[in-house]
Amino acid sequence: MRADVDRDACISCGLCVSICPDVFEMDDEDISTVIVDPIPEEFEDCAKEAAEECPTNAITVE
């Protein structure tokens, strides 16, 4: 499983990091970024939740 963040859509709310800090972090521009590729199985559920809860739908998980 992989995740991707649309940097243009991200509003830097940090919700993804609070939901799944083992997969997402805020970079030096305060934009969410994926820190693991592929996503380890134990973090797949929280990555999906982060994508579902993103207020701008900036995260895709495949």
pTM assigned to the model:
0.94
Where are the extended beta strands (E) located within the chain? 3-5, 24-26, 32-34, 59-61
Given this model, what pLDDT does residue 30 score?
96
Amino acid in position 2: R
Q: Which two tokens stand for residue 62?
A: 């495949």
Would you place residue 10 in the very low, low, confident or very high pLDDT band (cuts 50, 70, 90)? very high
Q: Which two tokens stand for residue 57?
A: 């739908």
Given this model, what pLDDT does residue 55 score?
98
Q: Per CATH, the architecture of 3-61 is what?
A: 2-Layer Sandwich (3.30)
Amino acid in position 33: T
Mean pLDDT within 9-30: 98
Q: Where are the domains of the chain?
A: 3-61
Single out the residue of 29, 30, 6, 2 nearest to residue 17, CA to CA.
Answer: 30
CB atoms within 10 A of CB 51: 22
